[in-house]
Each structure stands twice: as structure tokens, then as C-alpha cells.
Structure 1
């Protein structure tokens, strides 16, 4: 029998530790996906996700069942991600002009350097995901979070405005601006969005390795499931907005196994704090 998340929350609040663990397992991938798209580096995303899940577990008794549980969790996650200290990737202060310069340098460098053949598929995937994440880093936090919620997770303006505590109009305005910035950049540079563009993930590999953005011995992103990450390139029937959205929605992030084990331990440790507010 399929048990809704809200029913599991009710059981957790009655003292059912298995239900509490099931609640966390249901939401952890979405929280991790949100965190990694905001912070870029998987380790920073793991740390932030754990901090968010602690808040969710310890404040579970304050959930009033007035919205969906996921919306309530997003509100906690978003507030945390908007106010947390800048992490390593954000400290680079990446902008669209700086990313454009890096792309040009990569194309120039690749003309005299080749990619290691045995590792090429994994390296292409590593560059693709890292670059897409980098494009989102060019947005400030306020626009990045709206873009991730509205474009990646397809949250409507009513829900998004509730999560961010802004008006639906403000949410739609930020989403439109974010979409425009991302679309215009990728449409001008990315070969996956427009095959007439010179830049491809393969061509960027040598420069990415040279500058240390990609470490072939320690890949950050290539292990994630990316079932349709070339769909944006292959589906020529889509308009530019749809191709960009298809690219940005990949990969389907799943919390790493080591993180899952840490979260299970966290749930057991925090279980005694879960009590309904009367």
C-alpha cells in the first residue's frame, strides 16, 4: 500500500522512528538536488543538506498540514540556502562574462591538446554537468533559487511565492529574468542547445583538466544518473527554452550512499526531539 508522505509525518509525530526515517528518505534527494544546484560542489551540498534535514527533523512538530510537506521542506531548505555562508564555488564570484572568457580560452587551448580516449565519455559528462551548474552560479542567489524552483523543479508561482515569502508576481518576474539570462548565454555558446555553436563539452576537457576544474582521478559529477543529458541536443523539435530547460534539469540527483548513511544516523540521534507542538 502506498502511504503518503503526510501520513508518514503523522506516524513519525506519534513516535514511529521507522516512519521518520521514511519521511527523510522521501525528501533527501530533492533537498540534495536543490543544494547542489545552489552551491555547485557535492561536498558543500552534502553539508548543507544535512543541516537542512536536521532542521526539518527537529521542527517536524511545527508542520501544520496546511500545505504539502514538500512545500514546507522547501521553505526550510530555501531559507537555509539563501542565508548560509558562501561556499567554495560561490567565492569565485563567477559571472556570465567571466564564464564566456573561460569558454573562449578552452576552445583556443583544445586546438593543440587532445582528450584521453579511454576516459572521454566520463570526462564529457563531468564537463557538461559542471558547466551547467556553473551557468547557474552566474545568477545571484535570489535569482538562482527562483530558477531552480521554477525551471528545474517546475514549481508554480503560487507555491514558489509561498516558499520564498514573496508575491506570485515577484516570483514570475525573477523567473522570467533568470530564464532570459540563462537562455541567452547558452543559446550563444552551448553546442548542446544550438549545434551551430563552436563549444562542445569534449572540446572543453583539456582546458578544464589543465586549470584543475576537472580532476580525472576524482570526478565530482560523472557518477550521477544522467539518462537523457543529450536530449537537448537531439530533440531539434524543441524551441530554445525547452532545450535549455531539458539541459538544466539533468542530472536526476540522488544523495550519495555515504550521505544516506549519515542521514540515517542523524535521524536516530534526533528522534527524541520530534514531538508535536500543543
Structure 2
């Protein structure tokens, strides 16, 4: 099939500008790609080009991320519930009634809210360090969970996660030496430029604090898995020190037919193992 070039679009949802990337023929099956922290739809740039011959792909930037609007914390109530509501508004506006969901990091609590509320819309799940079980949390989260309990006492330590060293580490940790050269430096540099925008630290600190409430939603996500058994691919970096491989294996508890692959990668496995993930996705989606 002929691949369609990626298109870069902006629309308005609930009065806010929402940027999204679109690739592929809209007549083909749709895959919605939901990014993590601290990145944007940019993380899917290569995957979209790879799969656009066979699939229709949509990748939005959340409010406060990438090229979407970034109102201050006084103008927008930053929570995962509200980020989800805007993403749902975009999908509705685009008339997407059925789609596969690719979830990574922050994309998991957003995408799984959508899936558990409207299971009939979701044809398949692809999780790349998209956590849904407490087993996935590593010591990386100690500072963030302490911040959730006492913001003032732990804000200084939490702010360190917004710095350039931490952003670069997210891309490079757990990556084998022979794959480090595959990581485009502009990926983490672009993420850092977003974090460094005036007012963005307050946005990210608010979302760090709100993350605790995603765990309250885990039982509903797991009930969705058990009840609806969506075809599921888990393609996870076994060396991920943010969401550990136990989080990948935990999907078997409720989705015994899930296809689970632990790649020799870190948190941003698409940067180093994009070809492998694209091939696994084709196998899953062609079978759906």
C-alpha cells in the first residue's frame, strides 16, 4: 500500500488548542497513540511513518505538552481525569468510533480510562511501559509518592525530575551500548525545551501530585481486562527503571492471552527498538 505522509494539525477542544499528528489512510483501521512524560506525539514520529502504509494513526499532544495549549495551573485544572476528557473530546470530534490504543507511561492512565469507560470502542491494546499494576512501580517512584503525601517537604527533590539530566536519563538508562547511537538527541532536547517553558514546572508538579489517583482506578482497569479480554500486546523495556518488567508480567493475571515481550531496552523503547515494536504491532493488529 501507499504510505501517507504525516500531517500536523491543530483543532479546538473545550476552548483549548489541541495539536495532533495524523498519518495513513483514514479508511484503514485506526491506532491512537498516547504519549508519556515528559514527551509528546513527537515520540511516535518514526512509528507513524513505519505503519502508515497499513493503518490510520492519530497521536495527540495533551494539554500542557508539546504543541497543544499550555494554560497555567490557575486556568486549567491539571489532572489525569481532565487530560482524558480533552483526548476523548478530540477522538469524538474526529469521529473515531473504533481504534486500537497504544499506551506509554502517562498514556496508560489516560488510555485505560477511555477503554474501561467505552470498551466497545477499543479493538486492541499495545502497552509500552504503560503501567496498570502496582507491581510495575520501582524505587524511582519513592520521591513522587512522598511528594503526593507532603508536597512542600518533597517539592525540591521532585523538581529535580524536571531537569535536563533527568530527562536525558529517561532516554538513556537501560539502553545497551550498541543501541545508544539510535537515540536522536533532539528527542530529549525537545522534551526539555517543553519542560523549561515559563509556568510548565507548576503544570508538571501538579500532574506528579495527581498521579496518585491513577492507582485508585487500577481495579476498574483490571476489571475491564478480565471482562472484555481486549487483544493485547505488551512490548516493554526489561531494563526500565521507571516502570519495571514486573508491571509487564502482571498483565498475564487478567489477560492470559496477552502477548508479552521484554525487550533489551529502557523506558523509551521506541527510540531504540522501533523496528521490533512495529513488527509486533503488525502481527497483533492484522489478527484483530
Larger RCO (CA under 8 A, 6+ residues apart): 1
Q: Which structure shows the higher helix fraction? A: 1
The TM-score with structure 1 as length reference comes to: 0.30
> Higher strand fraction: Structure 1 or Structure 2?
2
